[in-house]
Amino acid sequence: MSADETEMQAAQWLAREDRGLTPEESDALDLWLGASSLNKVAYLRLKAGWQRVDRLAALKRPALRVSERAPIVLPALVAAGLVLMLAGGAWYFWPALRTAVDTSSYATAIGQKQEVRLSDGTRLELNTNTRVRASVTATVRTVTLDEGEAYFDVVHDAARPFVVYAGNRRITDLGTKFSVFRYGDDVRVTVREGRVKVEILGQAPQPVVTDGGHEVVTKGGETLVLTKPDADIADDLSWRSGMLVFKEQTLAEAADQFNRYNTRQILVEGNARKIRIGGSFKADNVDVFVLLLHRGFGLSVNDQGDRILVSR
C-alpha cells in the first residue's frame, strides 16, 4: 500500500466521520486504525489538519475575502525571487566583466572555480587548481593552459583562430565549445559542440580534427579519439556546476577526482581501491562521500585531518 493510498483511505474515513459514522462504520474504522501504524498516523495527521482548517471560521463575517487577498502572496514572492536572482546574476557576472582584459593570467586555488570573459567575447570557466594565460590581440587569440582544466565557449572568428596550448598539444578551435584538461603531459580534450583540431607541437603536422560528441585523449606522442554519447560528455563537464559524476568508476579513481578539489586528501588503501561506484556528488563535500563509503560499504574511515584513510 503506497502512502498516497493510505492517505486517501484515511481521508475517506475522516470525511465519513465528518458527516457522522454509523456504529458499524465506527467499528470498521477502529479495525482499520488498529491494522497498522501507517494507517494510524495518516489518520491523525489529516484529522489534525482538518481541525486546523476550523480557524477559517474567523473569516465568516464580514464577506469572504479569501479569493481577493491570497493571490497577493504569490506574485510578491515571485517578485522577491526575481530581485534575488537579478542581484545574484550581477554578483556572478560582475567579476568576470571586470577581469576582461587583453593579456592576463588567471588562476584558481584548490576547490575554486572562476569564470573569465575575454575581450573577444569568449568565455572561459576555470576548474579547480587551474592556471591559464590568455592573450587576445588583433591577429591572434591564444590561451595557454599551464595546469588544470578549463572549459571554452569560443566566439568564432575566421580571421583570428582561437588556439589553446596544453602541454605539447595545440588545440585549434574551429568554432566551438570544448574543455581541456591537463595533468602533466596528459591532455584530454572534450568537445561538446563544433570542431577542434588537435596537434602535437614540434612535429610534422598530423592533426586530429574532431567534432562534438568526441573526446581526444593524448599522452606523449599518442592520440586517441573516443566517441562519447552526449550524456557522458555532460558528465565530463559536470564540474562546471560543482558536481563530480561517476559511472562504474573505481574508488581509487573517484578519490583522485575528489582530491583535485580539496586540500583534504582521500587515500584509499588495499582492495577497497577496486570497488566500483557511481553517482554524483558535490565536489567539495568530502565528508559526505566518505560517510557514505562507511555507511554504504562498511569501509573504515580514518580521518586524520588533512588526509582521510579509507580501507576495508
- The radius of gyration of the chain from alpha carbons, rounded to an integer in Å, stands at 29
- Closest contact distance (angstroms) between CB of 251 and another protein is 9
Note whether 126 and 145 are within 8 A (CB). Answer: no
Q: Of the two residues 70 and 158, which places its CB atom closer to another protein in the complex?
A: 70
Q: Of the two residues 59 and 109, which places its CB atom closer to another protein in the complex?
A: 59
Grid cell of 214 as nine digits: 568526441
Determine the residue type at 244. Answer: L
Give, rounded to a whole angstrom, the gap between the first and last alpha carbons of the chain: 39
Q: In whole angstroms, how far apart are CA 203 and each of 169, 219, 268, 308?
A: 10, 15, 40, 43
- Closest contact distance (angstroms) between CB of 247 and another protein is 7
* Nearest C-alpha neighbor of 120 from the set 75, 84, 155, 171: 155
- Residues engaged in binding another protein (CB under 8 A): 2-4, 6-8, 11-12, 14-16, 18-19, 36-38, 40-42, 44-50, 52-60, 64-67, 69-71, 73-74, 231, 245-248, 271-272, 274-282, 285, 287-288, 291-292, 295-297, 312
- Closest contact distance (angstroms) between CB of 109 and another protein is 23
- Closest contact distance (angstroms) between CB of 31 and another protein is 15
273: left (phi over 0), alpha (psi -120 to 50) or beta: alpha
Q: Of the two residues 108 and 262, which places its CB atom closer to another protein in the complex?
A: 262
- Closest contact distance (angstroms) between CB of 48 and another protein is 5
Q: Of the two residues 39 and 122, which places its CB atom closer to another protein in the complex?
A: 39
Q: Of the two residues 39 and 114, which places its CB atom closer to another protein in the complex?
A: 39
Q: Of the two residues 4 and 306, which places its CB atom closer to another protein in the complex?
A: 4
DSSP structure string for 142-164: EEEEEEEEEEEEPPP-TTS-EEE
- Closest contact distance (angstroms) between CB of 75 and another protein is 12
What distance lies between CA 163 and its chain's CA centroid? 28
